[in-house]
Amino acid sequence: MAPPTTPPPKGSLSSHLPPLLLGTATFNTQYVPDPHSLPYRSIVSRAISLGVTGFDTSPYYGPSELLLGDALNALFTTSPTNPVPLPRNDIFLVTKAGRIAGDEFDYSPSWIRYSIYRSLQRLHTDYLDLVYMHDVEFVSPEEVLEAVTELRRLRDEEGVIKYVGISGFPVKVLVELAEMIKEKTGEGLDAVLSYGHFTVQNRGLAEGSYLERFKKAGVEVVLNASMLGMGLLTQQGIPPNPESKESPLVKWHPSPPDLRIACKKLGELAAEKGERLESVAIRWALEEWARVGAEAGVGVDATTSSGAKMKVGSTVCGVSSIPELEETVKEWNEVLEGLEKVAAADGEGKKDGHGRVYGSERSEKVLKLVEDEMWPALGEWVDFAWASPGEGYVNTRRPEDKGKVPDDGVIAAHEERVKNKQ
């Protein structure tokens, strides 16, 4: 384990949270047959070398925390192959708590404590930069409030967490919970992670007054995740046949067959323009959320290659290979360069019908492809969101088992580590 570290002073999240984070839900059997065979150490190391210093994981993502922790520990620790260890404070680590399995949730304070201590061990760190309560729509508002209160206690009394947030799928639920937490506690959430609701297929996060309500509820940062709709917006797509064995996503992805077919057509449109659907979807989501998140006042600080400072919406990207990582970072850097050009133009330059100034020819190409061809092709499936939880959902965690933690030495090991630091 890396030497004990002390978390840096807590300041504004928007000035510390990276604008682009690497999500490691892909380090999981839901996305790949054998996560342990992924070049996960190389992916993490390459991400850092490319300037991606934020990492998002969860105990729910199978071995993700263990694999990410192993990769980071190799960088944090001095060794013959790593003579200059990476300072822990150079990395922004995000995990989640509360979701145990597909339909199993425990938001009790004792389970949250156990989950956090276990994440600290798995990730080889003494503190977590940000922790979300995971998929909050699956439990009651009262359970969410109790869990957030416990995370804040761990933040204030034990110093093992710096920032606290919630994550989930239905934006309406996220907003209402953020408002409830602010009303009940007098303190807004540091962050909200929304996934699958700011994509080429579903723009729900920016619809209506959601972002304005988040801001009013005291939420400092809203992050966008799952730009590809959890694998829906890819050239390969997801087979509509639930019995197909072509992709591991078929077993669990909640999209209906007709939506999968409609998104497959988007891949054909992209190919006709010499593009891959993944590239178009990533570029559109990165560029538009960078702009929309900043304009809504829920963005973070970013620095361009030339040193220019700006506010942008923050995004979590998931990859399972170095080429995917490099492609995403390349798109992101081009987005920042384009936004810098737009800012420098100060309203001057080529504008489209919405009064937007394009930062590059590729920006114009992608926006027109999405708006003029892909959205019409999707038809009724534009902005469609499946129900979460789905029909018939029941929390399989029995009431009498909530709060029961395994006798696996996690708590004792944490207490011993704290004792040794004193």
Residue whose pair of structure tokens reads 């439990």 in the numeric block:
139
Q: With helix as H, strand as E and coil as C, how does 76-114 read? A: HCCECCECCCCCHHHCEEEEEECEEECCEECCCHHHHHH
Q: How many CB atoms are closer than 10 A to CB 204? A: 19
154, 414 contact by CB (below 8 A): no
User: Does residue 61 have an active-site annotation?
Assistant: yes
Given the residues 40, 61, 114, 163, select the one marked as catalytic: 61
Q: Are 350 and 358 in contact (CB under 8 A)?
A: yes
Instruction: Output the CA–CA distances (angstroms, integers) from residue 98 to 90, 122, 151, 187, 278, in the order listed.
Output: 27, 16, 11, 21, 31
SS3 state of residue 373: helix
Q: In whole angstroms, what is the distance from residue 158 CA to residue 418 CA? A: 10
CA–CA dist 398, 100 (Å, integer): 13
Please check whether residue 11 is in contact with residue 43, taking contact to mean a CB–CB distance below 8 angstroms. no
Q: Which pair of tokens denotes residue 306? A: 């030339």
Note the helical H segments in 217-312. 257-272, 277-295
Residues contacting 91, CB < 8 A, separation 6+: 48, 53, 54, 55, 72
Q: What is the DSSP letter of 390?
A: P
Q: Six-digit token pair at 104?
A: 């199993």
Which has the closest alpha carbon to 232: 318, 335, 326, 332?
A: 318
Residue 347 CB burial class (10 angstroms; 0-12, 13-18, ≥19): exposed
d(CA 364, CA 369): 8
Q: Which residues are known to be catalytic?
A: 61
